[in-house]
Chains A and B, each alone.
Chain A
């Protein structure tokens, strides 16, 4: 690792570890929410950014992770960490299932298939009252670690951080791995990738499974943060807000996922008044970003630099080179 990279990681580590000391109780809650959303955005970077597959059904995986963890912990008294892992595994299993339509359909059709999946999950969770509490919802105990209960979000922040950071590093690393390179190749030219040995079915299934696993873990962490689960949380609006978050942050970059997570945490604070018009706003934001900043907030510095270059030297407008378009 080069010196500058060590410095960047070092500063990031200090900032992340020191962050909660500056804030109030509510701000700790927001920090935790941002980390939990970041994990979802990372899962979408893997699925959409790397694998080139679309999903507007990630609220379904999120719900599965949340309820699976909550149910395991409340019904069997399993420890918190077992619940989180179980949440990830259940969501991952459904991820493998959702990959099946992805092998047959693409683009709009896949979007609708994943949307249908999320709606079905939400409906089943709502109807299955004996397990999920249905209309009443489900109370979820606070996270605990070896008998120590995290009663406030200050301590829980470090637990979530310890889980999210490795997934962040994995997402950063993925494009440099054999698996990640071949996955991205499959997105860029399915024909060439397959001709050079990439098994499309296996790679897409792996991408969906991994993405759902991350989102399931996120759902489980969310369940224990919020303390009470209601199925209406996991609606179409939620799925759409996840997609918006990933696009606004930058669908190709793990840093973009972090920015997206921060955006989705802060946005409701501003959008609260709009209530039911939120969907419209998400839609508008999505379109605006797709049009003017297709690689999201993460690409803002390069975008500004390229505009500045164009201003100063008219004809020499170098094309923006972005990887894996």
Chain B
């Protein structure tokens, strides 16, 4: 593993909520340009880990190194400018806005406009906004939901809303993409389409993707590497074919759930 460049190092990460250990000395590294699965039963600490990465939570101890940046020294609103984008487990959309306007917030995140030009609507500002709009529409189109662009996002189905969130993250052209259960609410066809999108992002854009997901067919199908969390601890870390045979993993997660592991 040492010959492959690592995009992210998680070292000795611990976080407790009121004495309850959500993350307990978690360490792993994520190879650059890989699709990295983060799995485990409900309450294992997967979303908590993503929230540490995006600086919504501050861990009690440990470090998170992305490239040469120590993420824990940066505030939440800096994360996007470092090239990290995410989706949320329980949708965090701007509900009253259209799908396009939602994605536009992503498109504008790393594209500043001088305040005066912005306020007065000078041609330079209009050009930037227009270009951002175009990129936002392309992102929707790439996920097959361009026709929802002008619809108020709160009125769209759950599966479409999930994809609007993904489009909002993708349009920032991140180096690291964090996806929190992107397949929840998608049907089998849509999940297959999602898998293709993820593979394409890895290949064409060399994006590193961390995938938190319960849909085992998706996880086993697209991930290059898996980390399994249980009660805040790493219980396994390997390629999918090895992880799925790990007795501890089967006991903690796959066996207990209901056999949707296959």
Instruction: State whether these chains interact.
Output: yes
Give me the interface of A with B, judged by CB distance under 8 Å.
170, 173-174, 176-179, 181-182, 184-185, 188-189, 191-200, 319, 321-325
Whole-angstrom CA separation of A71 from B77 in the bound complex: 42
Q: Measured between C-beta atoms, what is the minimum distance from B171 to chain A in Å?
A: 10
Q: Which of B81, B94, B101 has the most CB of A within 10 A?
A: B94
Please tell me if the beta carbons of A184 and B94 are within 8 angstroms of each other in the complex. Answer: yes
| B152 CB contact (under 8 Å) in A173, A174, A179, A321 | A321
Q: How many A-B residue pairs have CB under 8 A?
A: 89
Please tell me if the beta carbons of B121 and A196 are within 8 angstroms of each other in the complex. Answer: no
Contact with A along B82-97 (1 / 0, CB 8 A): 0001101000111111
A179 and B118 in contact, given A191-B56, A195-B80, A197-B77 (Cβ under 8 angstroms):
yes
Q: Is the interface of A mostly helix, strand, loop or mixed?
A: helix
Q: Which residues of the other chain, A, contact B121 by a CB distance below 8 angstroms?
A: 173, 176-177
Q: Measured between C-beta atoms, what is the minimum distance from B21 to chain A in Å?
A: 24
B110 at the interface (CB under 8 A from A): yes
Given contacts A177-B125, A189-B92, 15 further A-B contacts (CB under 8 A): A178-B129, A181-B101, A182-B108, A184-B97, A185-B97, A189-B95, A192-B93, A193-B94, A193-B105, A195-B85, A196-B172, A197-B110, A198-B77, A200-B77, A322-B96
Q: Which residues of the other chain, A, contact B75 by a CB distance below 8 angstroms?
A: 199
Closest to A170 in B: B119
Closest to A321 in B: B152
Beta-carbon contacts under 8 Å, B32-77 to A: 54, 56, 75-77
Please tell me if the beta carbons of A196 and B80 are within 8 angstroms of each other in the complex. Answer: yes
Q: Measured between C-beta atoms, what is the minimum distance from A165 to chain B in Å?
A: 15
Q: Measured between C-beta atoms, what is the minimum distance from A9 to chain B in Å?
A: 15
Whole-angstrom CA separation of A188 from B97 in the bound complex: 9
Q: Measured between C-beta atoms, what is the minimum distance from B107 to chain A in Å?
A: 9
Q: Which residues of the other chain, A, contact B88 by a CB distance below 8 angstroms?
A: 191-192
